[in-house]
Structure 1
Amino acid sequence: MSVSRRRLLAGASALATLAVLSVSACSAGGSGGNANGAAKTLTVNTSFVLKTLDPGRVYEATGLTAVHALYDTLLTFKGSDVSKPVPALAESYQASADATTFTFKLRQGVTFADGSPLTADDVVFSLNRLKNIKASPAVTVSGLTVTKTDDSTVVVTSAAPDPNIPVVLSMPSTAVLNSKVAKEHGARDGADAAQGDTAQQYLDTNSVGSGPYVLKSYDPSSQVVLEANPTYWGPKPQFSRVVLRNMDVQTQKLTMQRAEAAEISLDISGKLLDGLSGSLQTSGVQDTVYFLFLNADPGVSAVTANPKFNQALRAAIDYQGIAALYGKGAAPGAGLVAPAFPGALPAGEESKRDVARAKALLAEGGLTNPTVKFTYPAITYKGVDLGTVATKVQGDAAEAGIKLELNPQPLTTFLDEMRGGKSPLGFTPQSLNYPVADSLINNMAPGQATALRSGWTVERADPAVVAAGKKVTATLDLAGRATAMQEWQRLMNASSPYLVLASNSSIVVATADLTGADYTAAGWQVDVAAVGRK
């Protein structure tokens, strides 16, 4: 199957997301509760990144949060643990030894919000619709075939061995719709669904799922209101109403300073956490990696293509000092896999600074006071101005005799130059859209799409790196694959054009009266149905 789509900020969709995060206007409204603790409403403040609530088309952060509450999937993740999917609509499943066939036994007694029973036909329809309408999330299921053997058994077959299929089927885009109602309003699952499906408008304003909430109102510029599903088959959510409010991050911080009860914010992180009231709770995991990319094409830059320069710049960086710029929840860079995900390098393998070694490496490479243009997007992300980090990198490099010429650019300009593969040296964050770290192989290994934007062909790569990447994808045991990912990253750190600076945390900030307000790297940020009162 195709690799996972990721919020890799070397791609247009992710940078566009960052643009929205940095400039989104706030829209106050609703109430988190009252002073006597009798609140029935949970208020969620977030800077909207929202285009649709149609599960087959949802891809942006705010939409994923809402869809996860409105619909169920075959499997899911509990709390902040993304190491292993747990049962949801499927009470159990079996995987074939070759990781190509997955058989799911559906839970009995599940009904949609309108009271009609959920069957295997609904699962087959929903997954085929996701695949065939060919919207952004369809890439996750493009190589899958879905059938049923009876009303309570679904078989998912992958064209290629892939032990991550259970993770894929935990994502909100694989939500199961009431197929009868969906079809009545234009939903289609056939091969021509990309042209024939007209259900988005209906699904943006009506939910047809079996989740803990149903959709009450939808305004993508202001707020989304959810109400508890009275026929929900699982544990009943404590809050009868959830209001997602569109609010810029600075206003979120001011709002949380005044909040008394039943309120959370999703975008306060990094240095923005400084000065928050000590009574507020925070939950976060390191799910974002920030890295430099050097161009390996000598036609673009003979300096950055020089392996000794690559190694010298790695040795010149003050990783502890850079991590401090990100504030609470950050750490020095280790590997391309953020600590939130299986396959991350263990503690103790963070990069270390050695200025003397950096100078020696430059001399070995015949480089005297090399100068390189350093391009980065002029944005603030997760509470940190990327220009501040770039300036720190510039200063660190200068101590080793490397001159970096800062070249901040608007997002669109940065994207154009990056796509053209003409940046000698760049800087970007990276987050996974769902917890499959080995999807990085299919984009960042030599010869893959992202690598080629840095001129890193198979011919220019260490054969050991190529072999290590192939070993990852050939390993069908997930624990073994995570170990193989670690070895791949160690080899990447030795010679790849990617230089990991730091990992940073996404954070949920919550009032003191709440439980279960845990940030998850699974894609939906927080499970609002799991949030309760102490």
Structure 2
Amino acid sequence: MSVSPRRLRAGALALATLAIISTTACTAGGGGGNANGGAATTLTVNTSFVLKTLDPGRVYEATGLTAVHALYDTLVTFEGSDVGTPVPALAESYEASADATTFTFKLRSGVTFSDGSPLTADDVVFSLNRLKNIKGSPAVTVSELSVSKTDDSTVVVTSATPNPNVPVVLAMPSTGVINAKVAQENGAKDGEDAAQGDTAQQYLDTNSIGSGPYVLKSYDPSAQVVLEANPNYWGDKPQFDRVVLRNMDVQTQKLTMQRAEAAEISLDISGKLLDGLPESLQTSGVQDTVYFLFLNADPAVSAVTSNAKFNQALRAAIDYQGIAALYGEGAAPGAGLVAPAFPGTLPEGEASTRDVAKAKALLAEAGLDNPTVTFNYPAITYKGVDLGTVATKVQGDAAEAGITLELNPQPLTTFLDEMRGGKSPLGFTPQSLNYPVADSLINNMAPGQATALRSGWTVQRADPAVVAAGEQVTETLDLAARATAMQEWQRLMNQSSPYIVLASNSSTVVATADLTGADYSAAGWQVDVAAVGRR
């Protein structure tokens, strides 16, 4: 991927909020040092911490994923901004059964943990069983998987149902392989009682026991996390001997990057916040976040939003190009629920367009004269964009078609409570994938699923064609064909679902001009710090 100074490089979760956790600074074991000889080099990473733990079996938040990806290797991984093609990591190769239920991984030889001890299939089996059985937030991704070994270098992962995305799941940082012996000595368990008996989190928060390119040097979740190069790393040594993750609000990040000269990156400057940065800085971004309206399909909640003609009228009333412009650099008008970062996204040419005359005609067909709807949204700024600004734009667009939207900005907790309780007639929210499997949306947003039911969208209220299209996705085992099926599902969703996609927006890595490999990844770890080097 070529580098364009100050030009967004395009590659390809539920509403995210920041958590600030205070604790006492701790020093980790494992050492480190200068793996490359000569003067030590440091890469500084500025980010607003979303950090609860560095325990791979429990890690779920963005900052933790960035660090854990550097500390623990997984069976497979992704390179750069590509989240569609798993590549070998601990496994030198793997085979999938024709029915997508059995995956056999051949481990590469010569891999050691940071303490020099060899990594074997037993460590992989222990790590994945522990992830599943401690039942932390990321366990949902492996809940249907079982794992065993056939010998010290062969691991078999079996899915209870056909699932061609198993290799993608096994690239996630939460599946990082830990040193089973050391983990067990410090309270880790992998049995069915692990949810109650595992006590290893405190140890794993302050000590890294993986085989990754870095080891944990210090951990202060309120201020900074320091990584040092692993002297026993089995792969290509990282160019930087030391990585410092610094907790910093986004405005301070911008001021810092305006003065930065070398070896520094920021992870939270995106959209309009990119305006005014020096042209010498690099930006790497992918459109991984979708912003959409949800209309309640339950007549008992709203006789207006549950009206199919009103749904289509509001879709036609919106100025999608104008809304995308509010997000700034790296945004695009909405096309479908799958963001462009992921396989299965709709082509750019299928982005929604505005037709006010059509909107007015649809309202007349529905017998609605100046319908009025309460419009809830969280009163927050997300990825550099005030959601109130977008809501006001939607309100103005709707008014031109004869629709009155009464803006109701809410504290985030209030908004979430009303949304989850199915009480919002009309709402607005961003959405990102927790892991890069776009067809997981079927399990949440298809008729009758959890997210759909929050909008009163039952199977009985849905077009049977939408239900059938969703079933077609899950029944398709070839990933390329599944991506095509996802496109067809989205086209049907755009015709009658309660979701109106407004825009897709980019997450961005901003880096000084001397760096290479500072590519944003939608895989969850944001940037692979071990891949960052100097020109």
Question: Smaller-chain TM-score range?
Answer: over 0.9
Amino acid of the residue matched to residue 142 of structure 1? S
- Alignment-derived partner of residue 177 in structure 2: 176
Amino acid of the residue matched to residue 70 of structure 1? L
- Alignment-derived partner of residue 380 in structure 1: 381
- Alignment-derived partner of residue 84 in structure 1: 85
Deviation digits for residues 492-515 of structure 1, max 9, x if unmatched?
A: 000000000000000000000000
SS in 2 for 1:434: coil
Q: Is contact 2:318-2:397 (8 Å) kept?
A: yes
Q: Is contact 1:290-1:427 (8 Å) kept?
A: yes
- Alignment-derived partner of residue 104 in structure 1: 105
What displacement does 1:86 show? 0.3
Deviation digits for residues 72-116 of structure 1, max 9, x if unmatched?
A: 000000000011100000000000000000000000000000000
SS in 1 for 2:348: coil
Identity of aligned residues (%): 88
- Alignment-derived partner of residue 165 in structure 2: 164
What displacement does 1:38 show? 6.8
Which whole-Å CA distance do the structure 2 matches of 1:235 and 1:509 have between them?
A: 24
The within-5 A match list for 1:180-259 is 180-259=181-260
- Alignment-derived partner of residue 360 in structure 1: 361
The within-5 A match list for 1:471-482 is 471-482=472-483
Which whole-Å CA distance do the structure 1 matches of 2:198 and 2:130 have between them?
A: 9
Deviation digits for residues 201-237 of structure 1, max 9, x if unmatched?
A: 0000000000000000000000000000011011110
| TM-score, normalised via structure 2 length | 0.94
Q: Is contact 1:316-1:396 (8 Å) kept?
A: yes
- Alignment-derived partner of residue 501 in structure 1: 502
Q: Is contact 1:76-1:87 (8 Å) kept?
A: yes
What displacement does 1:39 show? 6.5
Q: Is contact 2:372-2:406 (8 Å) kept?
A: yes
Q: Is contact 2:40-2:242 (8 Å) kept?
A: no
Which whole-Å CA distance do the structure 2 matches of 1:347 and 1:271 have between them?
A: 21
Q: Is contact 2:290-2:501 (8 Å) kept?
A: yes
Deviation digits for residues 471-506 of structure 1, max 9, x if unmatched?
A: 000000000000000000000000000000000000
Q: Is contact 1:39-1:262 (8 Å) kept?
A: no
Which whole-Å CA distance do the structure 2 matches of 1:84 and 1:508 have between them?
A: 21
- Alignment-derived partner of residue 62 in structure 2: 61
Amino acid of the residue matched to residue 95 of structure 2? Q
Which whole-Å CA distance do the structure 2 matches of 1:157 and 1:188 have between them?
A: 21
Which whole-Å CA distance do the structure 2 matches of 1:333 and 1:419 have between them?
A: 24
- Alignment-derived partner of residue 50 in structure 1: 51
The within-5 A match list for 1:246-285 is 246-285=247-286
RMSD: 1.3
What displacement does 1:20 show? 3.9
Q: Is contact 2:40-2:241 (8 Å) kept?
A: no
What displacement does 1:64 show? 0.1
- Alignment-derived partner of residue 415 in structure 1: 416
- Alignment-derived partner of residue 406 in structure 2: 405
| TM-score, normalised via structure 1 length | 0.94
Q: Report how many aligned residue pairs link the two structures.
A: 509
Which whole-Å CA distance do the structure 2 matches of 1:259 and 1:65 have between them?
A: 21
1:320 aligns with 2:326: no
Amino acid of the residue matched to residue 482 of structure 1? A
Which whole-Å CA distance do the structure 1 matches of 2:201 and 2:464 have between them?
A: 47
Which whole-Å CA distance do the structure 1 matches of 2:324 and 2:437 have between them?
A: 24
Amino acid of the residue matched to residue 152 of structure 2? D
Amino acid of the residue matched to residue 380 of structure 2? I
| Unpaired stretches in structure 2, ≥5 consecutive residues | 1-12, 26-37
Structure 1 runs (4+) deviating above 2 angstroms are none
Which whole-Å CA distance do the structure 1 matches of 2:60 and 2:296 have between them?
A: 30
- Alignment-derived partner of residue 4 in structure 1: none
Which whole-Å CA distance do the structure 1 matches of 2:146 and 2:183 have between them?
A: 21
Which whole-Å CA distance do the structure 1 matches of 2:226 and 2:434 have between them?
A: 24
SS in 2 for 1:8: coil
SS in 1 for 2:526: coil
SS in 2 for 1:446: coil
